[in-house]
């Protein structure tokens, strides 16, 4: 994948396939500590311990349409190639959390990419899902909450 936004799109599509009703995407650009952290968490069906142990194996997938699952292994590779790592937590019935870290200044770190386009694609294609996006860069903070937007839309309609 060319950039981190495409990794985000892929991981969130996994959340949607796992019946998530809400997805939180957090990006923290900590320039002082030379760290970029991307976290995606959902309230989907989660993974059992066996699946969680195997999820970074590119030849393992729970999908029936193909025999490889490259989303998480590719994100892990991208993180590790740029001085970072990946953490995955999941519990059956309790959702999943994926956190990838990157050395912000590393020459092999992929660019962040077109985050607005990624968010637009996810929100427009999945209006029934609540998305919360938070992005911190230094002392700047950006937040988009589709639940709040839907509530405002309902208030306007009244």
Domain holding 135, by residue range, is 4-157
**8 pLDDT exceeds 80?**
yes
Q: How many domains does the chain have?
A: 1
Residue 91: pLDDT over 90: yes
Confidence tier at 1 by pLDDT (50, 70, 90): confident
* Full DSSP string of 65-109: S-S---HHHHHHHHHHHTT-EEEEEEETTTEEEEEEEEETT-TTP
State pLDDT tens for residues 98-121: 999 999 999 999 999 999 999 999
Q: Is 28 helix (H, G, I), strand (E, B) or coil?
A: strand
- Supply the CATH number for residue 150's domain: 3.30.565.10
pTM for the model stands at 0.90
């Amino acid at each position: 994948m060319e950039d981190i936004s495409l990794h985000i799109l892929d991981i969130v599509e996994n959340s949607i396939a796992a019946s998530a009703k809400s997805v939180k995407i957090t990006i923290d650009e900590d320039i002082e500590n030379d760290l970029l952290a991307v976290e995606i968490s959902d309230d989907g069906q989660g993974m059992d311990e066996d699946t969680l142990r195997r999820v970074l194996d590119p030849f393992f997938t729970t999908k029936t349409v193909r025999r490889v699952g490259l989303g998480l292994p590719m994100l892990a590779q991208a993180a590790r190639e740029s001085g970072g790592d990946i953490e995955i937590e999941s519990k059956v019935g309790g959702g999943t959390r994926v956190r990838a870290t990157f050395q912000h200044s590393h020459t092999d770190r992929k660019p962040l990419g077109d985050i607005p386009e990624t968010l637009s694609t996810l929100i427009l294609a999945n209006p029934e899902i609540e998305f919360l996006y938070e992005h911190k860069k230094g002392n700047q903070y950006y937040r988009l909450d589709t639940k709040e937007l839907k509530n405002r839309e309902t208030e306007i309609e009244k």
